Amino acid sequence: MKICVAIRESSTSDAVDAACRALAWADLVELRGDYIRDLDLPRLLADKPGPVIFTLRSRSEGGEFDGSERGRLETLLEAAQLGADYVDVEFSSFWKPVLEAVPRERVILSYHNFERVPPDLPSVIDSMAASGAGIVKVAARANRLSDNLEIAAALRRGTESNIRLCALAMGRAGIASRVLGPLWGSWMTYACLPGGAPTADGQIPADELVDSYRIRSIGESTAVYGVAGRPLEHSLSPRVHNAAFAARGMDAVYLPLECDDMDDLLRFEAQVPLQGISVTIPYKEEAHARARSLSVEADQTGAVNTYVRSGTGWHGENTDVDGFLRPLRRRLHLAGMRALVLGAGGAARAIVFALRSQGALTSVAARNADRARDLAARFGAEGHAWAEIPHLDWDLLVNTTPVGMHPRVEDSPVPAEWLKGKWVYDLVYNPKQTRLLQLAAKKGISAISGAEMFLGQAIKQQQLWCGSLPPDNAMRDALESALGK
């Protein structure tokens, strides 16, 4: 298994520096000559710190090179002569003269499809392999999670036919292929330089691939977990759960599984068995409807954020309830307390259920007053219009609206004048110190960050999946570091 970091720098000297840094995680680097404005091949290759692939992508193949095709061919051949370990040439261009001039084991013949994984992928790969190139590379956009299965099937065929194949799915939905691809038989997987720009959609920074996903130790016996939702671009769950599995010393990996719907997820899961699944927006209700059995919390809230494997199928849990209560249990006694919940969406249901389960006298206020009243009525709470908030008395205020979330960090759901209780709990966790919590702290009101709930619900998921509490310091550190970034 090889990790290749694709280098996207605009000067020769920066590309050499970046290549040196990349080799802390990678086995080889891909020097993207098309990004380098002052391309000095002799210097670039004389100073190469390790094995390199050189390529000069044209615009039609997703690159920046806009010179002549003859010039592109000459530059590739010169790079091979100057010692590039591999040259990558596209199947859609002049690969024949490259194969005539460069030893075939040093030629990567590549195919890119930025729209989809084509239905004729196997025959494309067969035609590419028939060229005699030493390595065949295919990168095609995944539009749904199950598109990864086409990549897995292609890799299995490649292994059976002794084709040295690198195959991956681009895009957020294709991340599984970047992490599990080597296990499925891919000769190599691509990553981007930590802190650098990716050269393709869905590339994971090399440090994350190695240190968080622990790709070098993934094997047949590795248990696969993941979070299902859409979009998952900003999900912190992979960081936190991978840290927990590493701290447990468990052979397990946790992936972002960006899917089209639950059917898409379950199609993927039928071929890539998952040991546990986190479910997030917008699939919590659908996951509830499809679970074989439900916990009381999942049943009562109508939402599932965790699937646990049972003998008969997926058992649905809602760990948002426990995650929300965990930081409160340490600080206060909820029975008889007056709690006011802002917002009446999906998260509010878990919060109102949690508060009522502990005997808190609960009110809900939302800009859609009917929604607030409906939600409140379901759990024996009181519903109010947003304008009533200044007239309501509360000990604990809980924000379940997304107001204040990155990037609109200056927003607060309510002004400082409306804050007059003892505790404010904001479910928003990015940033950790929201504007609302800052306003509360200025008035001497105790503040609880949504980061604590996020951690709490993930700890409960770990407990449900593994049967024991995880070392939560590792999870906390991973969360702090991800939020810090």
Residues 6+ apart with CB under 8 A from 485: none
284 catalytic, yes or no? yes
Does position 439 interact with ligand NAP (CB under 6 A)? The reply is: no
Q: Are the C-beta atoms of residues 99 and 133 closer than 8 Å to each other?
A: yes
Q: What's the min distance (Å) between Cβ of 366 and ligand NAP?
A: 5
Q: Residue 43 or 432: which CB sits closer to ligand NAP?
A: 432
Q: 337: Cβ–Cβ under 8 A, 6 or more apart, which residues?
A: 360, 361, 395, 396
Pick 174 or 226: Cβ nearer ligand NAP: 226
Hey, what are 464's tokens? Answer: 């449900």
Mapped onto helix, strand or coil, the DSSP state of residue 77 is helix
- Give the binding-site size for ligand NAP (rule: CB under 6 A): 26
Q: Does 371 bind ligand NAP (CB under 6 A)?
A: yes
Nearest to 411 by CA among 421, 420, 399: 399
Q: Which residues contact 243 (CB under 8 A, 6 or more apart)?
A: 212, 474, 475, 477, 478
Identity of the residue, 421 or 431, whose beta carbon is nearer to ligand NAP in the bound complex:
431
Q: Mark residues 14-33: x for contact with ligand NAP by CB under 6 A, - for none.
A: --------------------
User: Which residues, 6 or more positions from 304, have their beta carbon under 8 angstroms from its beta carbon?
Assistant: 279, 284, 287, 288, 291, 294, 298, 316, 317, 318
- Given the residues 48, 137, 284, 460, select the one marked as catalytic: 284
366 binding ligand NAP? (CB under 6 A) = yes
Work out how close the CB of 232 gets to ligand NAP at its nearest, in angstroms, rounded to a whole number.
Answer: 13
Instruction: Pick the binder of ligand NAP from 36, 155, 397, 453 (CB under 6 A).
Output: 453
Q: 134 near 107, Cβ under 8 Å?
A: yes
The reply to whether 192 sits near ligand NAP by the rule CB under 6 A is no
C-alpha distances in Å from residue 200, one per residue of 32, 39, 290: 12, 21, 35
Whole-angstrom distance, CA of residue 54 vs CA of residue 469: 47
Residue 431 binds ligand NAP, judged by CB under 6 A: no
Does 413 help bind ligand NAP (rule: CB under 6 A)? yes
- Residue ranges in 235-345 assigned as alpha helix (H): 237-248, 262-271, 284-290, 296-301, 319-329
Residue nearest to ligand NAP (CB): 345
Residue from the set 15, 142, 200, 427 that interacts with ligand NAP by CB under 6 A: 427
Sorted by sequence, the CB contacts under 8 Å of residue 345 that are 6+ apart come out as 400, 401
Measuring CA to CA, how many Å separate 173 from each of 7, 31, 225, 430, 443?
Answer: 23, 26, 15, 23, 45
Task: Establish if 368 lies at the interface with ligand NAP (CB under 6 A).
Answer: yes
Measured from the CB atom, the residue of 137 and 435 that comes closer to ligand NAP is 435
Query: What is the CB neighbour count within 10 angstroms for residue 336?
Result: 10
Dig out the tokens for 146 from the structure. Answer: 């199950």
- Residue 387 sits in the site that holds ligand NAP (CB under 6 A): no
Is residue 454 within the footprint of ligand NAP (CB under 6 A)?
yes
Q: How far apart are CA 80 and CA 94, in angstroms?
A: 15
**415 neighbors 422 (Cβ within 8 angstroms):** no
Does the footprint of ligand NAP cover residue 44 (CB under 6 A)?
A: no
Q: Which of 450, 461, 475, 478 binds ligand NAP (CB under 6 A)?
A: 450
Contact flag: residue 281 with ligand NAP (CB under 6 A) = yes
Binds ligand NAP (CB under 6 A): choice among 184, 314, 429, 465: 429
Asked whether position 462 contacts ligand NAP by CB under 6 A, the answer is: no
String of contacts with ligand NAP for each residue 322-341, x by CB under 6 A: -x------------------
- Of 152-160, 235-243, 306-314, 422-430, the segment contacting ligand NAP by CB under 6 A is 422-430
Q: Which of 158, 185, 343, 431 binds ligand NAP (CB under 6 A)?
A: 343
Q: Looking at beta carbons only, is 203 or 461 nearer to ligand NAP?
A: 461
Q: Does 437 bind ligand NAP (CB under 6 A)?
A: no
Which residues are catalytic, by number?
Answer: 284
Interface with ligand NAP (CB under 6 A): 281, 320, 323, 343-348, 366-368, 371, 400-403, 405, 413, 427-429, 450, 453-454, 457
